[in-house]
Amino acid sequence: MLAAGVTAYFLLPLEGLGADRPWLGWPLFVLCLALVAALLLRHVRDIVLEKPQARSGIMISLLMCLAVLVFSSGYYALAQQPGQFTGLRTRVDALYFTVVTLATVGYGDIAPRGQEARLVAVAQILYTFVFLTAAATALSRRMHAVVAERERRPPPP
């Protein structure tokens, strides 16, 4: 899933989703984020309700990576519009900016200048704060439950 997402990120014609087609770009961006959010919440819910599938932890990590790719795509499309970003020219720049924003490092070499770019940066910060916090809490809760269950088991003979 991650390999397919990265491949799509580097191969899809994202340039056409910027200023030329905002009627397509914005709804597609929001739809992708909503889909990732729904899948994340499903896996978080399963963990909280102690009904996790065997791969909920892995899926949460993959979905967070997918969210990074969605935001990177949005930033790259926005960067095609004059005045939205300084320093963001390539898809690698967009990916770098997304990860730097996620990590709250903020080196300053790439900066959102336009109102749309700033709104997307704020949305990314809020999105990752909410979903990363929920995912980390759910995974931590699951790990504590697994450890407690192992401690309750009698030692093997």
Sequence spans of domains, the chain: 2-6+17-152
- 5 token code pair: 């997402």
Whole-angstrom CA distances from 89 to 23, 24, 92, 122 are: 23, 21, 8, 20
pLDDT score for 99: 95
pLDDT score for 69: 96
pLDDT score for 53: 67
pLDDT score for 49: 81
The owner of tokens 């900016």 is: 97
pLDDT score for 54: 61
Whole-angstrom CA distances from 70 to 20, 64, 76, 128, 148 are: 19, 10, 10, 12, 37
pLDDT mean by block of 10 residues, the chain; 157 residues: 88 77 81 94 84 75 92 93 93 96 88 94 93 85 82 79
Whether 111 contacts 75, CB under 8 Å: no
Q: Look up the pTM and report it.
A: 0.85
CATH topology of domain 2-6+17-152: Helix Hairpins (1.10.287)
The owner of tokens 């709250």 is: 104
Whether 77 contacts 17, CB under 8 Å: yes
pLDDT score for 37: 94
Q: Identify how many contiguous H helices and E strands the chain contains and give both numbers.
A: 5, 2
pLDDT score for 59: 86
Q: Is 34 exposed, middle or buried (0-12, 13-18, 19+ CB in 10 A)?
A: exposed
pLDDT score for 108: 86
